[in-house]
Chain A
Amino acid sequence: MRLNRTLQAPHSSLVSGARLVAAVAVLLAATACGSSDSGSSSATGLNPPDLKAQSKLGKTEGQVNLVAWAGYVEDGSNDPKVDWVGDFEKQTGCQVNSKVAASSDEMVKLMKTGQYDAVSASGDASLRLIASGDAAPVNTSLVPNYKDVFSGLKNGAWNSVDGKMYGIPHGRGANLLMYNTQKVTPAPTSWSAVFDDASKYKGHVTAYDSPIYIADAALYLKATKPELKIKDPYALDQKQFDAAVALLKKQSANVGEYWSDYLKEISAFKSGDSVVGTTWQVIANLAQDEGAKVKALVPKEGSTGWSDTWMISAKAKHPNCAYKWMDWIISPKVNAQVAEYFGEAPANSKACAETSDKSFCDTFHAADETYWKNIAFWNTPIEQCLDGRTDVKCVPYAKWVQAWTEIKG
């Protein structure tokens, strides 16, 4: 996720926009259903409105409107050499209109307007779009390149419901533990370096500045406090949630700063203001390139991560062009290009043969399914527990946001 996203944050407009009463109504109906029939049909506890996927492709509509992360839809206007939209337009005749969103919440809002055909949603947005009926299921047989997508990205908890795909996987990345090799000895192998042992580096610990980071604490507790019985770091009941928040409040005393801007994290690790904390592979690479003495790893408890999915709007006005786009963006060559430009593992297994840096896929563990087994991809916490429990209510994301404010103090 997310390089330019935070850079743009100060400019992001205070979108108020027209809110669709209809969408709310659909959603209220959906959530009401979900809570009344206690998880009988779905293992995830999520019962989205019954929408049908398109059965066949028709004539292209001449244009397509996309919502995307910065760096996902490049038409050469930022850098003339970075352009995978031009050829798409030539081949399909679909003019691409893209809107860069600065956060998952902005993406959800934009999709609710019904003006956009497809979105590159992360796991903390995708379930919301599915549950509210804003995203339609995808007929994967209409996307020829889908067969080459890594199996670990198919039918994930964040992009499918009951085996029905709600999008086409774009790429993925893990939240790693990065440390300064000179100041942090012995080399850490566990997240305890930023939780229970964080006081050793008081004032120089860093963490990702987002409510979703609470899942990192839950993941650590899952391994270290079995009595809490955490199964899924995104499905926390009140007791488990409180334990994670308490752990983060303790950690906060040792945190120097939270990061959301990748440039800020690189500079903090270069200067030594931060010596241990979470990072992404691409940030670790850039920091090493700039001479910072850092290493990044997946600790023994595993890690959280993110995976972006191209989803199609249930109200899409240009669905055929949107399908063409979803196939195009994961075609081997383009998927390789966008993954290298953005710094993430590509979704298409054939993309690895197309990267300009031949070791790229190894660096980002693109094909290493055992590596991804330990990664809990971002998901949207909702009241119905995503791990299938029906005897308790889980803490919804809005409460995570409040708790995050309190953790930072």
Chain B
Amino acid sequence: MTSTAQAAGRSPVRRLAGTLHRRPRLRLSLLLTAPLLWLAVLYLGSLAVLFVSAFWTTNSFTSEVVKVWSTDNFHALFTTPVFRQVILRSIGVALAVTALSAVIAFPVAFYTARIAKPKWRPLLVVAILTPLWASYLVKVYAWRLILSQGGFADWMLKPFGLSGPGFGLFATIIALTYLWLPYMILPIHTALEQLPANLLDASADLGARAGRTFRSVVVPMVLPSVAAGSVFTFSLSLGDYITVQIVGGKTQLIGNLVYSNIELNLPMAAALGTVPVVVIVLYLLAMRRTGALSSL
């Protein structure tokens, strides 16, 4: 009774398992179909639609999209001074945020990974992650209060005869650095934690002082992680358009231009939207050379 049931139940499953075992290609394609569909259709597909619609135009009165092929939008992108200026400004902000994050993150990560007592380390990592749990808007509005006229920044700098930076480009860079800093600290922390202690000892044995050890041993080993963190800080900054509305004063970044065009001139918005995509692809290609992508 049981043996016949087992035989009946087993044989198709077994046969299937056998087939899959004998044909690794079939196995692989079955495994990959779903994620590849997701990637190709939803992700790359929507990017392709974005890119294609950038070649359309709009009816100037109704803002209806007119599906007539034209390169006017890309032409405008490169020839209109304000677009060029905003694109360069956005890339500048993303680079500045990345650099500032790296400079701040390194000592913090060094402390949490190597100096703090081991039992405190997990707690410190949690503390670094905590701000990520708070709402993005709350954090940015907090920065608005800090940087406003007579706010915390003004109050802190007053004894030195200075005043806060006020709203503007600099405020945007500071607020974005605050927002994305944990994404930079974490990879560096991990890299420093995995740094074998005996390498540092060896360096010291060979007569290197702290500075030399740092330059010749620590930095080369941690650099890919910095690059990995920078992928986050760079791409998140490049795409942001809300922080700059709140603390940026009248500053415009690419995201703001996309937003202001989205209703009335969708093709222009699409053309503007391809800029960050291209910039980030170039950035990723550059970072790949450092081996950053394998340490993500």
Contacts and interface: CB of A to CB of B under 8 A. Distances in A.
Interface residues of A, number: 44
A153 to B, nearest CB: 25
Contacts of A257: 167, 248-250
A26 to B, nearest CB: 10
Nearest to B144: A267
A273 B260 CA distance: 24
Given A108-B62, A382-B61, A273 B264 contact: no
Interface in B75-122: 80-82, 85
Interface stretch (B5-13, B125-133, B147-155): B147-155
A392 to B, nearest CB: 17
A409 B84 CA distance: 10
Given A103-B263, A257-B249, A273-B148, A409 B85 contact: yes
A10 interface: yes
B148 A271 contact: yes
Interface stretch (A56-64, A184-192, A236-244, A400-408): A400-408
B257 interface: yes
B263 A105 contact: yes
A405 B252 contact: yes
Contact of B62 (A24, A267, A271, A272): A24
B261 A401 contact: yes
A399 B242 CA distance: 25
B64 A19 contact: yes
B262 interface: yes
A303 interface: no
A14 B144 CA distance: 27
B149 A128 contact: no
Contacts of A261: 245
27 contacts: A19-B64, A23-B64, A24-B59, A24-B62, A27-B64, A28-B59, A31-B61, A105-B263, A105-B264, A108-B63, A112-B64, A128-B62, A131-B61, A256-B166, A257-B249, A258-B250, A261-B245, A271-B151, A272-B149, A273-B149, A398-B61, A398-B264, A405-B252, A405-B260, A406-B80, A408-B250, A408-B252
Interface of B: 58-66, 80-82, 85, 144, 148-151, 166-167, 242, 245-246, 248-250, 252, 257, 259-266
